[in-house]
Amino acid sequence: MNLFAYTITAGIMYGIFFGLVGLGLNIIFGVLKMINLAHGDFIMLGSFLAFWLYQMLGVNPLFVIPVALVVFFLVGFPLYYAFVPRLMRSKDPEMLSFILFFGVSQVIEALVVFFFGNNQRSIPTNVFGGGGFDIFGQRFPLAWLVTTLVALGSFGLVYWYLQHTRMGYATRAIMANREEALVSGIDVNRISAVVFCAGLALAGIAGIFSFFIIGASYPSMGPELTTVSFAIIVLGSLGNPLGTILGGLIYGIAIMFMQSYFSSWADILPYVLLIAVMLFKPEGLVGKAARSA
């Protein structure tokens, strides 16, 4: 019973974090209808940024969040304007985006290896304090709670942006129908650029706290994180950012059950979930709600 309670509780916290892992990828897809295959590499860059600031300056990961927001936004704008408008004018932007962002992923990994080497990096879990906390009689590190709260806060900000700001209304209009939004006078290119940068920033924030859920960070972790992110957003619903948290919860609980009871099979879970959803409910678990909104 104790193992079962631990699995469920840990799975929920895992799932909320992994919802954050997939959130940036999903909002970019929702607006641009492109899959950023370098998404996991930006998560990796966020983790390296947090590690570097912690090691060199002793900066607490919580205070790296505003730094990551600024850094990834500044990186995102030139990356967007250098590639995305050209992709959108091509005959097959979706396929070309796969090729382009795959190349970006390889370049990022190669540069990180060149400058930092292949060694794993980590931040101690007691960085927020040495104590833990109890839920349903189970003891967890305080870092898990902080990570969960940051992830929930990120979801809350995205929800507020989409539901309670003028730019959020415009973003939802673009998600619903890009051509109609353009005809209605919405500055589609500007909003797409902002959302693209926000997606990268969310990936960076996920990277900051990945140490406490995933473990050590290393340059080649990007493709695996992209696969997990893609499985999560397909599970929740492609193009529905708020459906990502449902996909994350299902993935988190499932991965904890696999690790607790069938540990040797845990690594194939993202691929199994992805295949199952594509076969039986390709629109995602909340796909109909997303289309009718």
pLDDT, tens digit (0-9, with 9 covering 90-100), for 92-132? 888 889 899 999 999 999 999 999 888 899 999 889 877 77
- Give 1-35 pLDDT, tens digit per residue: 487 888 889 999 999 999 999 999 999 999 998 88
What's the pTM? 0.91
**235 touches 284 (CB < 8 A):** yes
Which alpha helices (DSSP H) does the chain contain, by range? 2-32, 39-57, 61-88, 93-116, 142-164, 166-176, 178-183, 188-208, 210-213, 222-236, 244-261, 269-280, 287-292
Count of CB atoms situated within 10 Å of the CB of 6: 18
| More confident site: 49 or 130 | 49
**245 touches 13 (CB < 8 A):** no
**189 touches 92 (CB < 8 A):** no
Per-residue pLDDT band at 240 (split at 50, 70, 90): confident
Ranges 43-52, 82-91, 238-247: which has the least confidence? 238-247
